Structure 1
Amino acid sequence: MSTLKVALAQIAPIWLNKNETLDKVKASISEAGAKQCDLVVFGEGLLPGYPFWVSLTNGSEFNSSVQKEIHAHYIRNSIQIEAGELDGVCSLAREHHIAVYLGIIERGRNRGGHSLYCSLVYINQEGEIKSVHRKLQPTYEERLTWSPGDGNGLRVHPLKEFTVGGLNCWENWMPLARTALYGQGEDLHVAVWPGSDRNTIDITRFMAKESRSYVISVSGLMRVGDFPSDTPHLDKILEKAPDVLANGGSCIAGPDGEWIVEPVIGREGLIVETLDFNKVLEERQNFDVSGHYSRPDVTKLTVNRERQSILNIEDGYTG
């Protein structure tokens, strides 16, 4: 119970093709399960992919037919959890007794079913979805295609002796979002990214040192060859696209802030490592950010975990 075998799935999507990307996700889960891993993690928005087109095709142009058509394609390939589109992933998690953190683009039915959220889904080893964290604040150009989320998914989960929690990309720079997880006892933090060592190389070790926890940063890959030929307006997207849009950078830092796995660049596949829970206890001896080194009488955080919706329906009809 004191060790946890983790797999970082640094893979590229079949971009904006949810069915083929789902197949690739399932293959990685099966591979991690065959390696007797307890947890497998995928990058931000991997299913069905990050909105790279926005910064490559003048995404802020208002009433553009190009932007509308690509966005509609994105919506059609996003994931609606309520429709059972992650049932196959849940079944694999149960079959292999492996927990999964999966970055998806979610089409939230409770918000009308037409807006998109960058969500991080946690599935436990019994194949149950235990949290869906919608990114609190999309970053910069992401706001042209993703909607702001809420605090409903700011939750942690037991996994053997560990307590795991996760955040999307630049949320990991948000001190209060991190604190919301620290205060719930998190000691294994999962940070998911679209894919770049420029993001993971500094914040991963910083968070580990701040929290005295293990920190897993998992990124995707994206290369020109990963764009399917049937992508709407592919010629316009590729016109300014570099050969490599996301180079990975997945890594692991220990509770002392030192590297266990340095950022892995450009390599697709699973990165597997075993973590020892006792290292968390050792590093909490001199600093525990939400325990003996906190002062709740002076500073305290309030978290609203209500799932936000425009409707609160109260039916008076009794039949």
Structure 2
Amino acid sequence: MQTRDDDTLTVGMAQMAPVWLDRARTLAKVVEQVHAAGDAGCQLVAFGEGVLPGYPFWIEHTNGARFNSPLQKEMHAHYLRNAVQIEAGHLEPLCGAARRHHLAVMLGCIERPLDRGGHSLYASCVYIDPQGEIRSVHRKLMPTYEERLTWSPGDGHGLRVHRLGAFTVGGLNCWENWMPLARAALYGQGEDLHVALWPGGVHNTKDITRFAALEGRSYVISVSGLMRKKDFPRETPHYETLQTNCPDVLATGGSAIAAPDGTWVVEPVEAEERLIVATLDYERVRQERQNFDPAGHYSRPDVVRLMVNRQRQGTVDFTE
């Protein structure tokens, strides 16, 4: 029988800057944050969108839409070299850290998957369970604006939720948190702890965090990254051009947590690189579902229903 002692979950938001576009060194920082979260008693730690190895800030500031630009090709090739290929074991150190501390990890990474040929990039949300096993990889359904010049559209395969203590956890990347049907796909699976991954900025988190919490009657964790011009490694291609063209701060954080009634558990935190820890009480989910449950008593499946294709998309089917 479940007791009230089972109702709490301690979560961490690792608001951090990557060692920009350097997979190895950024992964080391991510693993350090997992160790810190474990030492702080966290049962879940989340990271911002694309933090491993970093968000493609160069596009906006270097005429990214210019066709056949040598600069854009060189930056994209560098991004490919430093992207995450899960099949190659790139996340094994992170899985090991999760296993050691027996905590779950929600990571935003730039994935270069072999099942799509290994040469295209996807903004992926990876869920690692407390046993250190990768349980889902959700590829962002629709890259936003200039992101489409480097990222590819994902599919519905990763629209899944995971049991963690009393909670059912799901997540989406950045602006797909504004997609009503993507949210509904998670609500319909019993999600009551939603993790929204962002590259950084209170302009992203201040409204949608509380709105999604009210709509889903769930806790919503909005975890953001940081990015400063000083975080560009000197080995970055076109370093001097980037230093000249980019502002000093490209992403300001803004990580926050809203409760199921839309009130703040943690108000948006800006400009600090740190682990933000909070303890969530599942009883608040039960209380707020009394008057609204979007997939339960306040739904009309006889009138409106959602169909979700969770097949992993590919270009070739082989029959041996």
**Shift of residue 84, structure 1, vs aligned partner:** 0.6
Gaps of 5+ in 1: none
Relative to the length of structure 2, the TM-score reads 0.98
Match of 1:149 in 2: 154
Find out whether 1:165 has 2:142 as its counterpart. Answer: no
Match of 2:286 in 1: 281
Q: What amino acid maps onto 1:85 in structure 2?
A: H
2:75 pairs, out of 70, 73, 76, with 70
Q: What amino acid maps onto 2:274 in structure 1?
A: G
How many Å separate the matches in 2 of 1:295 and 1:7? Answer: 36
Q: What amino acid maps onto 2:198 in structure 1?
A: W
**Shift of residue 237, structure 1, vs aligned partner:** 1.8
Q: What amino acid maps onto 1:121 in structure 2?
A: V
Find out whether 1:45 has 2:50 as its counterpart. Answer: yes
Q: What amino acid maps onto 1:229 in structure 2?
A: R
How many Å separate the matches in 1 of 2:212 and 2:68? Answer: 41
Match of 1:260 in 2: 265
Match of 1:208 in 2: 213
Alignment of 1:67-216 (within 5 A): 67-216=72-221
Q: C-alpha offsets along residues 137-196 of structure 1, whole Å, 9 cap, x if unaligned?
A: 000000000000000000000000100000000000000000000000000000000000
**Shift of residue 235, structure 1, vs aligned partner:** 1.7
How many Å separate the matches in 2 of 1:263 and 1:59? Answer: 30
How many Å separate the matches in 2 of 1:139 and 1:279? Answer: 33
Match of 1:220 in 2: 225
Give SS of 1:252's match: strand
Q: What amino acid maps onto 2:143 in structure 1?
A: P
How many Å separate the matches in 2 of 1:125 and 1:160? Answer: 11
How many Å separate the matches in 2 of 1:147 and 1:295? Answer: 34
Q: C-alpha offsets along residues 16-41 of structure 1, whole Å, 9 cap, x if unaligned?
A: 00000000000000000011110000
What is the RMSD computed on CA atoms of the aligned residues?
A: 0.5
Q: What amino acid maps onto 1:14 in structure 2?
A: V
Q: What amino acid maps onto 1:89 in structure 2?
A: L
**Shift of residue 49, structure 1, vs aligned partner:** 0.1
Alignment of 1:278-317 (within 5 A): 278-315=283-320
Alignment of 1:15-26 (within 5 A): 15-26=20-31
**Shift of residue 240, structure 1, vs aligned partner:** 2.0
2:254 pairs, out of 230, 249, 253, with 249
Q: What amino acid maps onto 1:248 in structure 2?
A: G
Gaps of 5+ in 2: 1-5
1:57 pairs, out of 57, 62, 65, with 62
Q: What amino acid maps onto 1:204 in structure 2?
A: T
- Any runs of at least 4 consecutive aligned residues in structure 1 with deviations exceeding 2 A, and if so which? none
Matched residues, number: 315
How many Å separate the matches in 1 of 2:239 and 2:120? Answer: 23
Give SS of 1:270's match: strand
